[in-house]
Every structure is written in C-alpha cells, then in structure tokens.
C-alpha cells in the first residue's frame, strides 16, 4: 500500500505495444459499429444514468456523443489496467483518469447537454438565470451546495435528542442524553465520533437517530462532541496534538462518564476516526494500569492501515513533509479542503451531479438531512492531522506494539482484551470492509464481527424501522473467539440477515451492560452538573 517517497523519481508508465494495439483495434471496431448504427437511426440509449433522460435519446447527435464519450472512457480505463506499473502507481492512474473522465462528461457542459438546453428553451432562459444565481451563491460560500441548508437547524430539527452538556474543556463537550425507559442498564455507553466530522450524523432526526435508538434500548448514552477549531481561537487549540486528543479528549470523557454513573468500568463505541482514537486511548489507559472500558464497539474503524482503499492515492512522504512544514506546529487543516478531498473520491455522485442540476438546469437542491451534515465540516488542528497522517496512513505505526509512545507510555493495541463488536460496511470506499475486519487480528478479546450492506455512512445509519438493506453475521454467536483470519473465509461462513444490524448490536451490548436499575431523574451529578441543553455550543460552530 505504501506510496513512493519524495526521494524516488517518477517512473514512466508503459503499455505493451501489443496490448495497446488490441485496445486501439477494439476502440475502432466499436466506433465503427456505433457510427453505423447512428447513420441508420438504430443507435440505442446508454445504460449510464447521466444520459438517461429522453432528451439524449431523442437527439441523435447528443446520443452519439454520449456513446463516444463512454467508449473513450472505457479505452482509457483499459490502458490504465494494461499499464506496466506497480499497484500503487496503477491506483494513482485509476484515480487521475477517473477525475478527468468524469469531469469531461458531455453532461457537464451546457453546449453538449441536450437536457439542460431543453430546460433553457422551455423556461425562456429562466433556468440559466437561476443557475447563475446558484453559482454565485456557491462561490460566496466557497463550496458546492448539495442540499437546501435553510431547511435545517441544529437543535431544532436535527440533533434534537434531549440531553445536556455535563462537561467541557478546550477539545470537547460531553453530552449526556435523557433516558426514555423506566429502567436503564448500569453501565453507560460513551460514543466517540470522528473529529473529522460533526457527531450529529448519529443523531440526525428521530426516525434515523442512532443515539435515540440506543436510549430506547435502555442504555444511558453519553457522547463526545468535538470542538471545531477556528483560526480566530486564541487558546492554543490549533496546536492540539494526537496525545492531547487521547488524554484531554477520550480518556477524560471516559473518566467523567465513570464518575457520573458510579461505575468503575463503562462501555464505549468509536466510529471511524473516533474508533481509532478510542482504541489508542484504551491502549494508553492499559499502559497506565487502567481498564476503564468493559466492552468495545468499533464502527467502520481502521486499526491496521495496510489497506486504505482509494485514499491511498494521497499518501506519500512528500505530502506528509509538506503538511508538516505548513501546519505541523500550529495551524489548521481546513474543513473546506477535507470536504473537497472526500467529495472527489466519488465525483459523479458528490460533485458533477450537483454542477449539472444546480448550475446547468437552475434547480434548487432538495432538503436532505444527511447532506446537510455532510456540508457542515470541521477543521482539524495541524499537529493532530500531521501526526495522524504520518503514523497511520503513511507508516502504519499504530498496529506495531510499542512503536507509538504517548507521555512516555508505549501503546499496544493487542493489550485490548475486552469483548468487542466490530462492524464494517461492504461497499465502504473510505474504510474497505477487509480493512475493518483486520481489527479482529489485533484485538485479543472475544469478537463479534458484523458486515452491513451499503457504504461508509448509509451502512451505519440504517434504522430498523426502515426495514432496509441487510447484514452478515454468525448466527447468535456473541462470544466468538476463533474468528477466521481471512475475511472472505469469514463471509463464507456468515449468514445474511434482512434489515438493520442495530438490534443485533443492542442484544450484544446488553450482555455486557450489567443489570437494569431505575433511571435517575437528573442528568450529571453534583460534580458534573448540566451546563447547557444538547446539542451544545461546540457542534454549532461552523468552519469558515
């Protein structure tokens, strides 16, 4: 997986002459077939949804252009696959070609998009005027609009599960949610979301809120709301390090939760980067002789960064050194840059689709809570980001026992022996599911691995009431210790179950949460009293 270092010279990419001739011959044959069919009026529609509107099929010239584009794109992809190159180089070629091919689609330009032209004529230029307004608005915002953001307000119709902030410091607020069942399990659940995004992906609206669902199952839920640092902050948060996030962040949150609940051990859940932080913090706690967590949940989390999927194209020594020079001591990795990077991992869905709709057709994007969240990014402290980039994606140090030290303590993720529930999403392009599965070879306690359908977000946010999708798991095996080393071997022995994986997780967590006791009437305790209502101030700070 590791990409080239800055000391290596670029190697010319060569396609064997016989393979190149084969690709060219196939292209010529297919082009002859398409042009002949077009001349005879027999050219059929494409199977690409970008060209599915009737305006394309009813315009012979546009239809032929769409076919020619798809043919050219296929030939370029074939050349990439035929290139005599290492797999990391080929991955970069795939990514680069995808960017150019997707950007040059005829659907992206008014002059070559008959659907947009038709809208222009039928609206007597109104679609063009509205498209320009949308473009100017987005230029002022500095980002592409994916949804009608005016329809959402944090604390009003998203992030509305009742609760209160019971602790805060310079890095996070800890929210305790109000119980909704007469009795609750003794051990609370602390959720550590990624600091690269805001937590309310787990608490969008009542019908799709993971937080609300967990409280309905009788769990006392506490959640870390990471601060969104700004360039105007003067308290040094832009110099916060990975060590700070472990000690001032995760471990402090666990300590507060133990104090409020009166439990020596609690349960914890980490999502994506939050899971990496949580596991690292628990390894640090173990090195200090502490065991604050009795059961661990990791959702789409990387502990072993050997396979990072498409993100690998950004990983090399030169990039790491550049970032370290820019923001390694202080400064911010901006939400705008992070958001743009992730959007171009899937450019057709997250970029060009909106360019066509918003600007060429002059349409307003419909309201969608998940895309509202997606547009509400967070900045990251530079020292935190640069340490994370080098020690995980570039050098994969976390999985190596003793390689990483925090405050003089060597971290060993293999010291984590508590029961663990590890979840991956089968179509996840950010955390490939075999990479999520790799955590089962690091953790040393009993493990239940569950594989959900769909992607990084849609696979996780899958409420049972929707009765959508499915998941794979071993039948009622909540104490599995002999898990296969090969993910495909695991999948071969797993059963497919209809619907959401949430009830399966709740059943597993209940086994590790102690007995049920009467719920408390007040949140917090005498030491940690409510500061403000959920969702709190920190999550409402928007990146500039």
What CA–CA distance (Å, rounded) separates 143 from 148?
Answer: 13
Q: Which tokens belong to 131?
A: 């498209």
In this structure, the number of other CB atoms found within 10 A of the CB of residue 183 comes to: 11
By annotation, the residues acting in catalysis are 272
Instruction: Say what the pLDDT of residue 478 is.
Output: 64
- The pLDDT score that the predictor gives to residue 482 is 72
Q: What is the per-residue pLDDT across 403-462, written as a single tens digit (0 to 9) for each?
A: 999 999 999 999 999 999 999 999 999 999 999 999 999 999 999 999 999 999 999 999
Q: What is the pLDDT of residues 352-363, one digit of tens each?
A: 999 999 999 999
Q: How many of the other CB atoms lie within 10 Å of CB of 11?
A: 11
Residue 501 and residue 450 in contact, taking contact as beta carbons nearer than 8 Å = yes
Percent of the chain with pLDDT over 70: 97
Q: What percent of the chain has pLDDT over 90?
A: 90
Confidence of residue 480 (pLDDT cuts 50, 70, 90): low
pLDDT tens per residue across span 22-33: 999 999 999 999
pLDDT tens track for 217-262? 999 999 999 999 999 999 999 999 999 999 999 999 999 999 999 9
Instruction: Report, as an integer, the average pLDDT of 338-367.
Output: 94
> What are the φ and ψ backbone dihedral angles of 78, each rounded to 5 degrees?
-65, -35
Torsion angle defined by CA atoms of residues 325, 1, 449 and 247, in that order, rounded to the nearest 10 degrees: -20
**Nearest-CA neighbor of 419 among 283, 512, 485, 301?**
512
* Cis status of the peptide bond prior to 114, with omega within 30 of 0: no
**Backbone dihedral region for residue 387 (phi beyond 0: left; psi -120 to 50: alpha; all else: beta):** alpha
Residue 2 has pLDDT above 70, yes or no: no
pLDDT of residue 457: 94
pLDDT digits (tens, 9 = 90+) for 153-203: 999 999 999 999 999 999 999 999 999 999 999 999 999 999 999 999 999
- Residue-by-residue DSSP string for 471-521: EEE-TT-TT-----SSHHHHHHHPEEEES-SHHHHHHHHHTTS--EEEPPS
Min mean pLDDT across 170-174, 289-293, 484-488 is at 484-488
Question: Whole-number mean pLDDT of the chain?
Answer: 94
What is the location of CATH 3.40.50.1820 in the chain?
163-331+382-540
Is residue 514 predicted with pLDDT exceeding 90?
Answer: yes
Q: What pLDDT sits at residue 267?
A: 98
The CATH code of domain 163-331+382-540 reads 3.40.50.1820
**Please, which pLDDT band fits residue 86 given cuts at 50, 70 and 90?**
confident
Task: Reduce the DSSP state of residue 161 to 3 states and report it.
Answer: coil
Q: Find the mean pLDDT for residues 498-522.
A: 95
Q: What pLDDT does residue 13 have? A: 67
pLDDT digits (tens, 9 = 90+) for 90-103: 889 999 999 999 99
Q: How many residues are given for the chain?
A: 544
Burial 72-104 (b: 16+ CB within 10 A, else e): ebeebbbbbebbebeebbbbbbbbeebeebbee
pLDDT class for 4, splitting at 50, 70, 90?
Answer: very low
Residue 44 has pLDDT above 70, yes or no: yes
**Phi, psi angles (nearest 5°) of residue 26:** -65, -40
Q: Which residue pairs, CB below 8 angstroms and at least 24 apart, start in 500-504?
A: 500/462, 500/463, 500/464, 500/466, 500/467, 500/468, 500/469, 500/471, 501/423, 501/450, 501/452, 501/462, 501/471, 501/473, 502/210, 502/213, 502/462, 502/463, 502/464, 503/464, 504/450, 504/471, 504/473
The token pair at 175 is 């929210």
Locate all alpha helices (DSSP H) within 328-447, ordered by sequence: 335-343, 347, 353-354, 369-374, 382-388, 433-437
Q: What pTM does this model have?
A: 0.93
Q: What are phi and psi of 311, to 5 degrees?
A: -65, -15
User: Do 538 and 224 contact (CB within 8 A), yes or no?
Assistant: no
Residue 9 pLDDT greater than 70, yes or no: no
Per-residue confidence at 12, pLDDT binned at 50, 70, 90?
Answer: low
Provide the pLDDT for residue 18: 86
């Amino acid at each position: 997986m590791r990409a080239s270092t800055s000391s290596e010279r670029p190697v010319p990419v060569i396609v064997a002459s016989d393979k190149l001739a084969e690709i060219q011959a196939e292209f010529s044959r297919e082009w002859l077939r398409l042009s002949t069919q077009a001349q005879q009026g027999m050219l059929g529609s494409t199977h690409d949804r970008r060209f599915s509107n009737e305006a394309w099929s009813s315009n012979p010239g546009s239809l032929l252009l769409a076919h020619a584009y798809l043919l050219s794109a296929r030939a370029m992809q074939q050349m990439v696959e035929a290139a005599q190159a290492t797999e990391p180089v080929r991955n970069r070629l795939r990514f680069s070609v995808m960017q150019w091919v997707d950007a040059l689609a005829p659907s992206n330009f008014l002059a070559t998009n008959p659907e947009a032209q038709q809208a222009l004529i039928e609206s007597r230029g109104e679609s063009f005027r509205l498209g320009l307004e949308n473009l100017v608005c987005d230029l002022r915002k500095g980002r592409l609009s994916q949804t009608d953001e005016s329809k959402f307000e944090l604390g009003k119709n998203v992030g509305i599960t009742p609760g209160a902030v019971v602790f805060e410091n310079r890095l996070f607020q800890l929210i305790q949610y109000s119980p909704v069942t007469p009795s609750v399990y003794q051990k609370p659940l602390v959720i550590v979301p990624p600091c690269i995004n805001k937590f309310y992906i787990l608490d969008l609206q009542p019908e799709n809120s993971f937080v609300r669902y967990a409280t309905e199952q009788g769990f006392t839920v506490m959640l870390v709301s990471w601060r969104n640092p700004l360039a105007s902050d003067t308290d040094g948060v832009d110099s916060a390090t990975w060590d700070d996030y472990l000690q001032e962040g995760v471990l402090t949150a666990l300590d507060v939760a133990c104090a409020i609940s009166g439990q020596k051990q609690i349960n914890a859940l980490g999502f994506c980067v939050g899971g990496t932080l949580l596991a690292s913090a628990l390894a640090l706690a173990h090195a200090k002789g502490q065991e604050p967590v009795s059961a661990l949940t990791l959702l789409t989390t990387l502990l072993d960064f050997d396979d990072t999927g498409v993100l690998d194209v950004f990983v090399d020594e030169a990039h790491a050194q550049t970032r370290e020079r820019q923001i390694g001591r202080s400064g911010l990795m901006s939400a705008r840059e992070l958001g743009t990077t992730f959007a171009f991992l899937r450019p057709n869905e997250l970029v060009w689709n909106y360019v066509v709709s918003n600007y060429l057709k002059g349409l307003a994007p419909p309201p969608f809570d998940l895309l509202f969240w997606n547009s509400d990014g967070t900045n990251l402290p530079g020292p935190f980001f640069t340490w994370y980039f080098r020690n995980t994606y570039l050098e994969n140090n976390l999985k190596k026992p003793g390689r990483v030290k925090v405050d003089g303590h060597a971290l060993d993720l293999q010291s984590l022996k508590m029961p663990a529930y590890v979840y991956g999403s089968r179509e996840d392009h950010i955390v490939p599911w075999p990479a999520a599965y790799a955590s089962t070879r690091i953790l040393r306690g009993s493990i239940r691995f569950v594989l959900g359908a769909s992607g990084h977000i849609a696979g996780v946010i899958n409420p049972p009431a929707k009765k959508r999708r499915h998941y794979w798991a071993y039948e009622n095996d909540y104490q599995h210790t002999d898990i296969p080393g090969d993910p495909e071997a695991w999948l071969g022995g797993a059963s497919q179950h209809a619907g959401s994986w949430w009830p399966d997780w709740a059943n597993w967590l209940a086994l590790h949460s102690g007995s049920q006791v009467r719920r408390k009437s007040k949140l917090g305790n005498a030491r940690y009293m409510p500061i403000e209502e959920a969702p709190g101030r920190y999550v409402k700070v928007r990146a500039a």
